[in-house]
Structures are given as structure tokens and as C-alpha cells.
Structure 1
């Protein structure tokens, strides 16, 4: 079980009883990985031994993107695989931040130098950021650092009086969003802007039962399923579990309406965007893919000389060889696979013609092309873009609106290659069909008893 502490302070006890000795306390947002609850108590590893905490004061973690990891040992080895004998890649120092992608037994899969790597989970303190607050800077100039550590790399500075959004705390440091990245500032130099909300409670084994708050004005109860899966196993299993944990309830509801096995819709989302609609490391902007050959059709062929100065693609396989350059004399660069680069190209194209640029991108978790705006019920591509940019519900609703009767038939028959031929195009239907099949099987393995029609 992977869960986060909901009250401000929660006692860790030596035995699963309210009267047993207190070993220590956990603070709000701290993450534990323990055994399944027995009589509403969770057993987990605590300070080289084991402790117990009440399950009443924990919330399941359904979005690993909200996890912040901090190295708690002087030197932590980064390895190429989840094994102490795997290839050594680098060493992280105490206080370094890590972005957690998944749990693999006693290892964390992390994002490292644009790829994936592994560290021993015992040496990383994890915090789950589910709520936050506004604060003002009180120092003349406040350093923003890359990790909650005074010698960590300096991201920049904030001026006195600036308002910031605090995502959470790690000891004497506050975690904030800074220029699209997670940054850290010393708590002593900021002051919380008081709201009408009551102060958080300190729990001393009472009957308090927390209710998760909404995020970005979304109804989380409509998104999050009752059953939360552990994000572990194969790549497909981890991807499927993370997607289900975030959006399972909405996927289940919409699949029922379409008389569709929810595993099919989930597998499509996993393959299209790994179940992500927004990129945290790109200022939480919607995930897009800019298609050079589409922009040629909507704008370039009417301005060929100007187009060819900035964009190019393969003549034989138009979905390949996409490159761009801002200046006609600059070097050509590729941009697919990096959201910051995708948005740079898109924003440049918007300056040339906004509507054509929007028609030429695939949007959000389902990666639906902008030129399909009418098919999924929008009056204009701008309306679709705004809806998909606002929240995940718009994106997932768009996925189900995009399914034609024929597509639904292929999914119901588990004919994923034929489905991919319609959804992704005939050129790569086998590749995408195989990927959908693997994710479908991975989810079914984890949820074998889930009714396929969800009736």
C-alpha cells in the first residue's frame, strides 16, 4: 500500500494499538509504503525497525507526478536497473531532489538525465503534494534552490513582497513552483497568506477522518477510482496502474456508457501519452505534438518560401524527419519527444497563423488532432484547444467522442491493430496495435475480476 499522511502530525506507534509507545511522528504529506491494513493499522519500515500507523489518517496515492523525493543519505548510487549489481550511473548527494516514476520492489524508478534510472527507496524521503497555499516573500531577496538544502544549485531569486504558491513542506524548506520547475525556499523567509480555511488539525489518535480536497477545481471523486493499484511490475503494468489511479472512475463511467471494456480505453490512453494530459516539467501545460506536414497543408503551401525557411519533413514518410529552426540561417533541430521543444515550435507557428498551428497539433492525453474539432463536438479548433487546456475531463471526454462506431467495434472485439489503423493511421497500425494489446493485457492481469462491461 502506498499512501500519504493527511493530518499535520501523525503518531507512529510500536504496536497496532492506540495505547502503545510512540516511536515518532510523521508530518502531513509524508509517504509510507506498507502492508495492507489489518484492523485499520498499517505496518511499515520506520527508522531501521518497523512501526504502525492508523489507516484512518492516510490517503492512497493516485498520482506519482505529485511525489517529491529527497535523498536522505550522504551518497546515493544511481543504477541502470533495480538491482545493487546493476550498472552504476552516478551518485546523488544528500538533499538532492528526485522525480519518482514508479516503485519496483525496494527500488524507485526515477527520471535521470532525460531517461530512467533506479535508486534504493530506503534512502529517499517522499512527500505527496495534494494541497497548497499562497505565501509572500519577506526577505529582500530570497534564493530558490533545486533541492531543500542550502548548498543545492541556485535556480534564481524572488523579491520581497512577491506572491508564491507553496506546494508543501520538507522540514525547514517550502516546495514551490518556479519557472516551470519545482524549487525550494527557506520557510523562515515567507509568510502564509491567510484564507478563510481553518488551520490543519494535529492528530493524536482521534476519530478524525480527512476528506481530500479538489485540485484545479476538478471533482476528484469523479476521477479517482475506489481501488488504487500499486505502480509496480513491467513498464506496461506501471503505466496502466498510474493511469487507472488518476482517471479510473471517469474512464469507468464513460466506458459503461459505450458498453466498452474500460481496459481498452485505458490502454489507448497509455499508448498515446502514458496517461498524462499535462506535463509538470513544462509549466503544467497540455501535452501536444506539432506535425510539420499538417502545418504545410494548412499554411505552408500558401507561403512555401517562408515555410521552408523554418520547417521540413520527410517526403516519403511525412510523419518522420520533422525539424525546425527559428532563424533561416540557424542549424536544423529535431523537437519531438520533448514538450518544451514541441511548445517552442507550436508558439512560433502560432505567430505565423494561430488557427493553422492549432489544427496541426495533437492535443492532451488522447492526442487528438486539432482538425478533428467538429467531430468531437466543438465549434472551432480554438474552443477545443481551450477545453483540452483547462482540465483532464475535457480531454478524456474528447477521447470517447472521437470513437466512431467502427472503432468501438474493433475495441469490443479486441482487434487492436485494426483499431490503431483508424486511430493512428495505417502506416504504423501494427506497432500501435501491439502496444495497445500489451497495455490491455497488463491492466487485465492486475484487475482480472473487474467486470468488462462495468454494468
Structure 2
């Protein structure tokens, strides 16, 4: 069983009885993997021995996007497959952050340098973020560290009275958002804020301006009543590149994809294959501060802004006249060197943020967003009143992105998918010029997933 602690402190006992000796305590949100339940007790490994916790105080871990992990050993091997004999890819140090994609017995499937890799689960402390809260700093200067250890590297400091957004706890440390990244502070130096205090401060512009740089509240981490994402059956990410891609995508969003596909009477393998091809099933990029995956299309920015400002456009942007989706380059300064940017999310966001300064609405219309890579100018088609509304929904949660995919499917697109006419589908989804390339990719991913799970429609969540 895998569960997250649902009470502020949970005793770990030496035997499965309320009167047995207490070995230690787990804090709210900490994730455990154990055997059971046996008479409402879970047996787990704890500090080089066995311990027991009451199953009553555990809740299921349904959404792996809310998991955060921290390496708890001096050196941890990252491997290509879930085996000690698998190829060694890298070594990561104590305190490093881990993005978990799946549980595979004694291994964690993780995202590493944009790829899928594996680490031994017992060397990673996991926290399940369910609902965060504001807290105020009560120390003169509060150190923000990269990991929940006194010796971890220092990210920075927050002054007395500064606000932080707390996502979870690990023993005596609180996990917070700091400058768009995950950081850790000693819990004894922060105090949870009451709703009254928060409301009062929001109405006081002077108070807010004092500490506006101290608190960053990512919408993706605020409780939104999201549907379950991860499926009951988790696949091992092995085999061909298409099989690995399909398995990783299924492990992330299989439950949600199944529910939405059933509503459309569509084989979930079809929707999954489309997501695999569009974005490798990923909606956010860990190596880019967990920001939404985007692709900035310069030729679209010409349409929405450039043609009305041609001289300024040509100083900063250029693309191929023949095949407008090629030759995309830009430069910040009119006399600077031209640089390409596709293929790296930090670069995509760099040009996007620059374009937003010129015209925010036109810039948003010119990007494809999230896992389904739907262009911003389709906002009305998928049910939004503005492109900003679509951008916020896609940037806020994977559910917003996947819902957008299914809302984007026209009746004809759905029929093509049901008929397995992937090239015809790609002609509508990706454009006629690329329909064979994308159609073949969708076909390969569809076949790879069906080979691993012939009857995915039976995998109810």
C-alpha cells in the first residue's frame, strides 16, 4: 500500500498495537510504502527496522503530480531501468529534488534531464502536497535551503514578517515556493496565517508591497478539486522509444484519459497516442521551474502583430518564407546575433516573454500550450472567452490541458480516431503539410500502447 499521512503527527510503533513502543513520528503529507493493511495496520521499513502505523491516518496518493521527493542519502545512483544491473546514468547528492512519475515495487520512476530514469525508492523521502497555506516569518532572517537539512545549500533569506506559501512538511522542515523553485525552511521560524490576517493584508496595499517578492503562490498547487490522474495499473517504462513514451504518459494521466475517452466512446489508446506525439505526455517542464510547455510560432506572431508593425517585427524575428514553420530565429537587440530557440523550454519562454512585452494578447495567440499543444488562437473553440483565460487554465493544471484536448476534438476528428485513420486525423490536428509524419507517429504510439495493454478500457480508476 502507498499512502500519505493525513494527520499532523503519526506514531510509528514497534508492534501493530496502540500500546506498543513508539519508534518515531511521521509528519502530515509524508508518503509511506508498506504491506497491508493487516487489521488496520501497515507494516513499513523505518530506520533500519520494521515499524507499524495505523492505516486510519493514511490517505491514497492519487495524483503523482503532487508528489515531491528529496534524496536522503549522500549519493544516489540514477539508472536506465529499475534494476541494480541496469546502466548507471548519473549520481545525485543528498537533498536533490526528485520528480516522481511512478512507483515500481522498490523503485521510483523519475524524470531526469528530460528523460525517464529510475532510483531506489528507499533513498527518497516523498511528500504529498494536498493543500498549502500562508505562513509568516518570525525570525529576523530566515534561511531558505535547497533541501530539508541544515547543511543544504542556501537559496536565500527572508526577512521578519515575510510571507511564504507552504506546500508540505518533512520532519522539522517546511517545503515552500521560493523564487519559483522548491525550497525548505525550519518550521519553528514560521507561523501559519489565519484567513482573517490574509484578507486584511490583501486589502492593505502598503502591507502587500512590503513583502510582495517573498511569497509566490503557484496556481497548480492550490486545491482545485482535480480528478484522479494516475491509473490503477502502472506500466514499466521499457522497450522501444514509443513503448517507453506511451507507458510514461499512461502512468502520469491514465485515469483522467480513461474517463474522458469513455465519455467520447473513444479507445483511450488513441488519445494517449496523440499526447505522446505532441509533447511526450508532459504538460510542465521540471527543468524550467515547472512552467507549462509551450512552443512560440513566429509566423503566427507575424499574423497577429508583426504585419501591423513590420519594421519592428523584422528587427527581432524571422522565419522561412517557403515553409513558415521552419527557420524560426530571434534576437533581443536589433543589431544582435540571430539565435534559434525551438527544442528548449527555457528558450521558448525567453522569446515568449519578450513578445509579451510587445503585445501580450498577440503573444499568447501565437503559442501552442501544454501537453496537447493547442494554439492560443483556438481559445473560443475549446470554450474560453479569452486567450488569457485559456492560458491561465492550461498553466494551472494538467486537467485543464487534457480537458482542452478533448474539447478540441471535432466530430470528424473523433471519427478518424475511432476508425484508426491517424493520417487523416493528423491532417486536421497538425495541418496537411505534416499529416503523414504525425500520422505515422500516432500510429506507432497507438500500437506500442496496445501491445503493452491490449484492453486499456478495462482499467477503471
TM-score normalised by L of structure 1: 0.80
2:118 pairs with 1:122: no
CA separation of 1:4/1:414 partners in 2, compared to 1, >3 Å: closer, same or farther?
A: farther
How far is the alpha carbon of 1:279 from its aligned partner?
4.9
> Equivalent residue of 2:148, what SS?
coil
Contact 1:181 1:281 in 2 (8 A): no
> Against the structure 1 CA distance between its residues 438 and 154, is the aligned structure 2 distance closer, same or farther, given a 3 Å change threshold?
farther
Tell me the distance in 1 between the aligned counterparts of 2:343 and 2:416.
29
Match in the other structure for 2:161 = 161
Which one of 378, 387, 405 corresponds to residue 381 of structure 1? 387
SS in structure 1 at match of 2:457: coil
Match of 1:448 among 435, 439, 455: 455
Residue 323 (structure 1) aligned with residue 329 (structure 2): yes
Equivalent residues of 2:67, 2:129 under 8 A apart: yes
Question: Structure 2 regions of 5+ residues with no counterpart?
Answer: 197-219, 239-243
Q: What is residue 420 of structure 1 aligned with on the other side?
A: 426
User: Is 1:230 the equivalent of 2:234?
Assistant: yes
Output the CA distance in 2 between the equivalents of 1:194 and 1:447: 51
The change in CA–CA distance for 1:447 and 1:17 in structure 2 (over 3 A counts) is farther
Contact conserved, 1:240 with 1:267, CA < 8 A, in 2?
no
Label 1:22 to 1:173 Cα distance change in 2 as closer, same or farther (>3 A): closer
Provide the rounded CA distance (Å) in 1 between the counterparts of 2:350 and 2:8. Answer: 41
Q: What are the Cα deviations for residues 172-230 of structure 1, in whole angstroms up to 9, with x where unaligned? A: 2211101111011122222222459xxxxxxxxxxxxxxxxx9635223xx11695343
Question: 1:199 is matched with which residue?
Answer: none
Matched, 1:309 2:315: yes
Is the 1:134–1:192 contact (alpha carbons within 8 Å) kept by the matching residues of 2?
yes
Match of residue 376, structure 2, among 370, 374, 378: 370
Quick check: 2:294–2:349 contact (8 Å CA) kept in 1? yes
Partner of 1:187: 187
Residue by residue over 1:218-274, the C-alpha shift from the partner in whole angstroms, topping out at 9 and shown as x without a partner, is: 223xx11695343643322122121124x35xx61x434433233433443344334
Once the two structures are superposed, residues 64-105 of structure 1 have per-residue CA deviations (whole angstroms, 9 ceiling, x without a partner) of 332222222233234455443455454433333333344455
Query: Given the alignment of the two structures, is residue 239 of structure 1 paired with residue 245 of structure 2, yes or no?
Result: no
Q: Which residue of 1 aligns with 2:138?
A: 138
> Aligned ranges for residues 183-262 of structure 1 at < 5 Å?
183-195=183-195, 216-220=222-226, 223-224=227-228, 228-230=232-234, 232-234=236-238, 235=244, 236-245=246-255, 247-248=256-257, 252=259, 254-262=260-268
User: After alignment, is 336-345 or 149-158 more displaced?
Assistant: 336-345
Kept in 1, the 8 Å contact 2:173–2:185? The answer is: yes
Aligned mates of 1:380, 1:307 — CA distance in 2: 24
**CA positional deviation for 1:343:** 2.4
Farther-moved stretch of structure 1 (234-243 vs 327-336): 327-336
Q: Would you say how many aligned residue pairs link Structure 1 and Structure 2?
A: 430
Q: 1:61 to 1:334 in 2, by over 3 A?
A: farther
CA shift digits 1:142-164 (9 cap, x unpaired): 22121122232222221111110
Cα offset, 1:139, TM superposition: 1.8
Q: RMSD of the alignment, in Å?
A: 3.5
Q: Is the 8 A contact 1:60 1:228 kept in 2?
A: no
Moved more, 442-451 or 234-243: 442-451
Q: Structure 1 residues 283, 112: closer, same or farther in 2, change over 3 A?
A: closer
1:417 to 1:167, Cα distance in 2 relative to 1, 3 A = same
CA contact (8 A) 2:137 2:190 kept: yes
Is contact 2:268-2:457 (8 Å) kept?
Answer: no
**Any conservation in 2 of the 1:141–1:157 contact (CA below 8 Å)?**
yes
User: Which residue in 2 is equivalent to 1:403?
Assistant: 409
Cα displacement (A) at 1:136: 0.8
Alpha-carbon distance in 2 for matches of 1:24, 1:83: 31
TM-score (norm 2): 0.79
